[in-house]
Amino acid sequence: MALQGGRVFLQQYGVTEMKKLLAICSTACLAMTVNALAADRYTLDPAHTQVMFKADRFGLSNTYGSFAEISGDLLLDEAHPENSSVRAVIKAASLKSDNVTREEHLTGANWLDAASFPEITFISTKVEPDGETAKITGDLTVHGVTKEVTLDATLVKIGTDPVSKKKAAGFSATASVNRHDFGVSIAEALIGPDVEITIETLAIAAE
């Protein structure tokens, strides 16, 4: 099928246009390779990465929670941070909220349904730096639904981690999502739709 498609392209546009197309593709691939090589790879430190959330309950108080199992990696280009990227994976069943009954509800079928959708993922698609801060836009997948979300991130520091003796980078980030967008609409009259997210993470340079 691919060979037939190439023949059709040649018949319609000729060898010159095919060469132009190949040159464009080669240039794009080379640029992507150079950008990747310029970036340093880091691994998110699960012991020093916290993803916390807050939601309104009955209009009377806020309920907080967090996740205990988080992994991921970071490509950090210090010279050109717009070429950086991040990928994170959270185990939905690792949700903690200081109350066993509430944790069972939130990870159960009516809320996150961790049995059917065991992972929450974020994969960045764009980084817009502004000094020590940046807007990191990416695809957030929760409850099997993927939506574009933007994190407001701040670089805390890049330096040597005193424990691992490796280069490390610390970041803080915040975001707000509407749980209804991800198909979690139970108790609409009781629990607020907006979920505020706060992230603190330490990334350790990979070997």
Q: Which domain holds residue 13?
A: 1-38
Q: Provide the token pair at 68.
A: 């205990």
Q: How far apart are CA 153 and CA 146, in angstroms?
A: 21
Does the pLDDT at position 179 exceed 60?
yes
> Do 12 and 46 share a domain, yes or no?
no
Q: How far apart are CA 23 and CA 30, in angstroms?
A: 10
Q: Lowest-pLDDT range, 15-29, 41-55, 123-137? A: 15-29
> Do 12 and 110 share a domain, yes or no?
no
Mean pLDDT to the nearest integer, 150-168: 96
Specify the pLDDT at position 207: 76
| Percent of the chain residues topping a pLDDT of 70 | 82
Residue with tokens 């959708």: 117
CA dihedral 134, 56, 103, 48 (to 10 degrees): 30
Specify the pLDDT at position 26: 42
> Do 84 and 175 share a domain, yes or no?
yes
> Do 15 and 92 share a domain, yes or no?
no
Estimate the share of the chain in helix, then strand, then coil, as percent rounded to the nearest 5.
30, 50, 25
In this prediction, residue 38 has a pLDDT band, given cuts at 50, 70 and 90, of low
Q: How far apart are CA 73 and CA 69, in angstroms?
A: 14
| Percent of the chain residues topping a pLDDT of 90 | 80
Is residue 91 a contact partner of residue 107, using CB atoms and an 8 Å limit? no
> Do 8 and 50 share a domain, yes or no?
no
Q: How far apart are CA 94 and CA 90, in angstroms?
A: 8
Mean pLDDT to the nearest integer, 42-67: 97
Specify the pLDDT at position 28: 40
> Do 187 and 120 share a domain, yes or no?
yes
Q: Provide the token pair at 204.
A: 């350790």
> Do 19 and 96 share a domain, yes or no?
no
Q: What are phi and psi of 88, to 5 degrees?
A: -135, 145
- CA-angle at 118, arms to 117 and 121, nearest 5°: 90
